[in-house]
């Protein structure tokens, strides 16, 4: 029990530290050499009020929600465990009509709570001070895990006799154990009726990187409501715990110098300060862009009301109403008793926002960054601050916006080039062992580049092998002595409510088709022709990407034309990606059927935002994007939502040990006939006189 108390104290202490550290950053980071947060004023969240209908709930508003729920009759005897309290956004029509200075639409909150093993979905009107809607168990599944769930489940094994006997037999001291509760998934009716979690344990002896020291084969199924160990599995006593040698990834722990020439310090200098500004806490204005930015408990980062300025008349034009990461599916490829269930849905089960820790100045975000906090609710309904969760910064990496030179074939010399400077909104989530970096990058040519980076630690499996045997019998390659890096996937599904020059849009598949020339028509035998097909219903827009059947995918406004008669639009440009290869009847794939296609288009529906369903934990897949899309609703010239799934196959390698270099992929949202011509034609080049002169120190 002493061990249990110690774990609980450490866990709560860490939570308090994370909340405090953001404020510490702002107050003390300016003392670091060469660093300043001079452009950012202190934020006093307790006094904040909303300035825009999409602004997140404030500290005062979350407190008001708790007060309303405390006096709500169904909760009069027992207050429920709060899993999320988020803004119930106004109807889209209301938001689009609203202008600064107008009265606000009613401020409302959506609450996901748990009481007596049942899921409660409530809507609370903050103006009328009442609960306006209350539904119990609307679908299969439960709300995401709370911090109380995670804390209690991590302690449950230590009061179990079988567990204590097993770790003693392995020669492991309880003082060196860290136990974590990954989600259990769903694998049929036998697992229904109880909210359960799997608990795995690791040794932190000699290293903070306990993920590299798994207690292989030891797994417990724990009832989250009673904290009873329902099932105990112990199959790996003959597998040694991997050594801690070379697992510590901290800079201060490195004993050898890197075998490379040292890099001199590098930084972007902005003598006039950043070009962007943040108004009223959430409205970002930069170059020709304006958008609303906020933190979200589940999605992490939400971009809304995205508008770009017309390059001819200067008017702001709609591009996107709302964009965010809707779900993150991570299935592992191992059938072992202690591995088969590892098929996580990180947004719906853990929360990308809840997993976001403070960003590290100068390393996560460069100098002159602006930091934004998240305001969320604890399990008892009180507000807390997730500090420095999002950063905004301008990026210049020597890239070129456009260029052309003449002189080889003409009498006149032309050297024209423009530097590419972009604006980045960044958030990083640390979901257990993995770190996910989300970038929304805005370019002055109207392009939005969305990138996802993967870093952190592998989820590894203990092995008896020191050197690689016949790997066909293994679930992944050996990445270090006694460690297997299990093959796995990552799929991120984005909700992209595109509003190109207005809400009513159409989806167009522009297919490149090979045509053959007629006999004698040309020396060429074949050529490509673009053929356009407008999707009429949802099934027309369920797209599986194919390298040898290429298409462009356009979102257009059929009612808005360029001077040449082309419909204004944007296209989604996939980067490197991957598709799920699991059987559609496999339980993890049933729950994550939104990865069956890379592109979906659905009619706008305020209730259809989470690709894995509102209640994802232990869900059966009955409330997913794939289920909604099977209705085959009309989508031509309607208010529609584009969904895109970005995928990674990950076959681990030795270079991923002990911490992975970041791997990045993404997609672009690129204007197509949206502007009358190149929107940055008149952009100014850089001149020496405009830049500060930074001279290196004298050579030794």
Q: How far is CA 123 from CA 88, 120, 353, 610, in A?
A: 7, 10, 21, 17
Contact between 610 and 298 under an 8 Å Cβ cutoff? The reply is: yes
Instruction: Report the distance separating Cα 356 and Cα 370, nearest Å.
Output: 16
Give the pLDDT of residue 700. 41
What 3-state DSSP class applies to 502? Answer: coil
Q: Which of 423, 427, 426 lies closest to 443 in space, CA to CA? A: 423
Q: How far is CA 102 from CA 49, 97, 106, 328, 670, in A?
A: 15, 9, 12, 37, 33
pLDDT beyond 90 at 248: yes
Q: How many CB atoms lie within 10 A of CB 429?
A: 26
Q: Which of 243, 558, 288 lies closest to 422 in space, CA to CA? A: 288
CB within 8 Å of 468: residues ≥ 6 apart? 477, 478
Predicted confidence band of residue 4 (pLDDT cuts 50, 70, 90): very low
Give the mean pLDDT of 142-171: 94
The three state secondary structure string of 301-342 is EEEEEEEEECCCCCCEEEEEEEEEEEEEEEEECCCCCCCCCC
Percent of the chain exceeding pLDDT 70 equals 93
Give the pLDDT of residue 189. 80
| Top-confidence residue, 631 or 688 | 631
- H-helix or E-strand spanning residue 641: strand 638-650
Tens of pLDDT along 462-477? 999 888 777 676 788 9
Give the mean pLDDT of 305-312: 97
Give the mean pLDDT of 290-315: 97
pLDDT beyond 60 at 323: yes
Q: Which of 256, 286, 251 lies closest to 270 in space, CA to CA? A: 286
Cα 428 to chain centroid, rounded:
8
Give the pLDDT of residue 26. 43
Give the mean pLDDT of 247-275: 91
Q: How far is CA 699 from CA 218, 261, 265, 514, 557, in A?
A: 58, 16, 15, 61, 60
| Top-confidence residue, 36 or 176 | 176
Q: How far is CA 315 from CA 237, 361, 398, in A?
A: 68, 35, 30
Instruction: Report the distance separating Cα 50 and Cα 126, nearest Å.
Output: 13
Q: How far is CA 556 from CA 303, 499, 507, 656, in A?
A: 20, 9, 6, 42
Instruction: Report the distance separating Cα 112 and Cα 90, nearest Å.
Output: 18
Instruction: Report the distance separating Cα 365 and Cα 456, nearest Å.
Output: 17
- List the single range of 263-272, 290-299, 382-391, 549-558 with lowest mean pLDDT: 263-272
Give the mean pLDDT of 213-223: 96
526 - beta bridge partners?
A: 516
- List the single range of 32-36, 52-56, 137-141, 442-446 with lowest mean pLDDT: 32-36
Q: Is 528 exposed, middle or buried (0-12, 13-18, 19+ CB in 10 A)?
A: exposed
Contact between 329 and 343 under an 8 Å Cβ cutoff? The reply is: yes
Give the pLDDT of residue 6. 40
pLDDT beyond 60 at 22: no
- H-helix or E-strand spanning residue 61: helix 59-70
Range list of H helices, 394-442? none
Average of per-residue pLDDT values in the chain: 91
Q: Measure CA of the first residue to CA of the last residue in the chain; give whole Å.
A: 61
Give the mean pLDDT of 56-85: 96
Predicted confidence band of residue 29 (pLDDT cuts 50, 70, 90): very low
Q: Which of 294, 383, 285 lies closest to 50 in space, CA to CA? A: 294
- List the single range of 206-215, 343-352, 684-693 with lowest mean pLDDT: 684-693
Instruction: Report the distance separating Cα 414 and Cα 407, nearest Å.
Output: 7
The reply to whether omega before 328 is within 30° of 0 (cis) is no
pLDDT beyond 80 at 364: yes
Predicted confidence band of residue 696 (pLDDT cuts 50, 70, 90): low
CB-based burial, 236-263: b 16+ in 10 Å, e otherwise: beebbbbbbebbbbeeeeeeeeeeeeee
Q: What are phi and psi of 306, to 5 degrees?
A: -80, 125
CB within 8 Å of 636: residues ≥ 6 apart? 506, 534, 535, 536, 537
321: tokens are 């109403």
Give the pLDDT of residue 190. 76
The secondary structure of residue 564, as a DSSP letter, is T
Contact between 500 and 568 under an 8 Å Cβ cutoff? The reply is: yes
Give the pLDDT of residue 62. 98
Catalytic residue positions, numbered: 346, 434
Give the mean pLDDT of 614-640: 97
């Amino acid at each position: 029990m002493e061990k249990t108390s110690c774990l609980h104290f450490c866990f709560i202490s860490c939570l308090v530290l994370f909340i405090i550290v953001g404020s510490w950053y702002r107050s003390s980071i300016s003392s670091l050499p060469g660093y300043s947060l001079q452009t950012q004023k202190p934020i006093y969240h307790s006094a904040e009020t909303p300035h825009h209908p999409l602004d997140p709930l404030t500290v005062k508003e979350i407190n008001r929600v708790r007060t309303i729920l405390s006096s709500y009759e169904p909760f009069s005897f027992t207050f429920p465990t709060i899993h999320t309290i988020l803004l119930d956004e106004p109807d889209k029509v209301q938001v689009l009509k609203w202008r600064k200075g107008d009265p606000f639409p009613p401020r409302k909150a959506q609450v996901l709570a748990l009481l007596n093993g049942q899921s409660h979905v409530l809507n609370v009107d903050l103006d009328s001070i009442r609960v306006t809607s209350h539904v119990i168990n609307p679908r299969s599944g439960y709300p995401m895990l709370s911090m109380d769930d995670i804390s209690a489940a991590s302690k449950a094994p230590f009061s179990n006799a079988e567990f204590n006997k097993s770790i003693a037999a392995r020669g492991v001291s309880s003082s060196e154990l860290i136990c974590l509760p990954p989600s259990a998934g769903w694998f049929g009716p036998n697992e229904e009726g109880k909210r359960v979690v799997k608990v795995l344990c690791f040794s932190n002896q000699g290293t903070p990187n306990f993920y590299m020291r798994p207690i292989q084969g030891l797994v417990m199924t724990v009832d989250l409501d009673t904290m009873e160990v329902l099932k105990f599995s112990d199959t790996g006593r003959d597998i040694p715990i991997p050594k801690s040698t070379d697992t510590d990834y901290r800079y201060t722990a490195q004993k050898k110098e890197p075998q490379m020439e040292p890099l001199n310090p590098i930084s972007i200098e902005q003598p006039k300060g950043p070009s962007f500004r943040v108004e009223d806490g959430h409205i970002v204005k930069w170059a020709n862009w304006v958008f609303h930015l906020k933190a979200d408990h589940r999605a992490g980062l939400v971009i809304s009301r995205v508008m770009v300025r017309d390059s001819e008349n200067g008017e702001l034009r709609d591009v996107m109403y709302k964009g965010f990461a809707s779900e993150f599916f991570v299935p592992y490829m191992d059938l072992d008793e202690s591995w088969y269930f590892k098929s996580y849905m990180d947004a719906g089960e853990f929360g990308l926002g809840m997993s976001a820790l403070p960003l590290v100045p100068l390393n996560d975000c460069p100098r002159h960054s602006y930091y934004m906090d998240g305001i969320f609710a604890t399990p008892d309904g009180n507000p807390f601050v997730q500090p420095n969760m999002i950063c905004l910064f301008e990026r210049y990496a020597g890239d070129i916006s456009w260029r052309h030179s003449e002189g080889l074939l003409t009498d006149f010399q032309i050297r024209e080039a423009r530097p590419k400077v972009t604006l980045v909104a960044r958030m990083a989530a640390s979901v257990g062992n993995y770190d996910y970096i989300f970038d929304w990058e805005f370019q002055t040519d109207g392009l939005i580049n969305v990138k996802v980076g993967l870093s952190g630690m592998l989820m590894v499996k203990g092995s008896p092998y020191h050197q690689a045997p016949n790997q066909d019998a293994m679930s992944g390659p050996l990445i270090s002595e006694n460690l297997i890096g299990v093959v796995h996937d990552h799929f991120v599904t984005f909700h992209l409510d595109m509003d190109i020059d207005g809400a009513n849009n159409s989806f167009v598949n522009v297919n490149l088709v090979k045509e053959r020339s007629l006999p004698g028509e040309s020396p060429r035998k074949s050529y490509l022709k673009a053929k356009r097909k407008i999707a009429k219903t949802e099934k027309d827009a369920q797209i599986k990407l194919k390298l040898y059947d290429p298409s462009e995918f356009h979102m257009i406004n059929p009612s808005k034309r360029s001077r040449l008669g082309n419909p204004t639009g944007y296209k989604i440009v996939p980067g490197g990606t991957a598709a799920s290869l699991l059987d559609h009847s496999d339980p993890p794939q049933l729950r994550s059927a939104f990865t069956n296609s890379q592109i979906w288009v659905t009619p706008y529906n305020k209730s259809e935002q989470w690709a894995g369903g509102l209640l994802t934990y232990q869900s059966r897949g009955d409330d997913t994007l794939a289920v909604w899309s099977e209705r085959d609703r009309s989508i031509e010239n309607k208010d529609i939502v584009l969904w895109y799934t970005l995928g990674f196959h990950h076959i681990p390698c030795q270079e991923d040990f002990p911490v992975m270099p970041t791997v990045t992929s993404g997609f672009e949202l690129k204007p197509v006939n949206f502007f009358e011509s190149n929107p940055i034609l008149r952009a100014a080049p850089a001149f020496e006189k405009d830049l500060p002169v930074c001279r290196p120190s004298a050579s030794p």
